[in-house]
Amino acid sequence: MSLIFGGARQVGFVVHDIEKAMAHWSRALGVGPWFYKQAVGTTEFRYYGKPSALPELSIALANSGDMQLELIQQRNDAPSLYLDSLKHSGEGAQHIAYWTEDRYDELAARLVDAGYVEGHGGRMGQRGRFGYYVHADLPSGMIELSELSGGKGGYFKQIAHAAEHWDGSDPVRRMAANPR
């Protein structure tokens, strides 16, 4: 538990093949169901503080207990920390995320004051903001800050509830893209 941010709520993994990753997590590890959006509809994006081309992202979310797992596959070559992570480290855990309903600006400022830099950030659809923060002293400790506005909080609760009652059937729930 962080005295500043509360509990870590998510671990995100960058992958080359999201369909294969969802199948492995659900069949081999019994984690699911996965809520999968082939195109999440990124509407705003910055890479190291500058407006950037929008990454084309596929994202799948599932819970294992209270922890949300996120699988991320980028389908274009727009600059992002997702591609940077794949290039430097390959597939695997990329970040942990802290969620906030009403303290995004305050918590982002705390990260910057502690020497973190926003590597990339933006917004997907009408949902809340997100930022991925990196620090030179801890290159493997990428932090995502995610704002639970715009219906994101309710969506995350739906995913957690589905995991509590999942019996192994219907392991991948294909969702429509976020409205722009």
What tokens were used for 89? Answer: 């480290």
Domain 10-167 part of CATH 3.40.50.300 = no
DSSP code per residue over 105-139: HHHHHHHHHTT-EEEEEEEETTSPEEEEEE-TT-T
**Distance of alpha carbon 121 from alpha carbon 54, whole angstroms:** 11
Q: What is the domain partition of the chain in residue ranges? A: 10-167
Output the pLDDT for position 119: 98
Nearest of 56, 108, 122, 49 to residue 83 by alpha carbon: 56
CA dihedral sign, ordered 19, 22, 25, 28 = negative
What tokens were used for 163? Answer: 């995991």
What tokens were used for 47? Answer: 């890479």
Q: Are 29 and 22 in contact (CB under 8 A)?
A: no
Output the pLDDT for position 140: 86
Output the pLDDT for position 179: 47
Q: Which residues of the chain have pLDDT under 50?
A: 179-180
Output the pLDDT for position 178: 55
Output the pLDDT for position 177: 65
Output the pLDDT for position 180: 44
Q: What does pTM read for this prediction?
A: 0.95
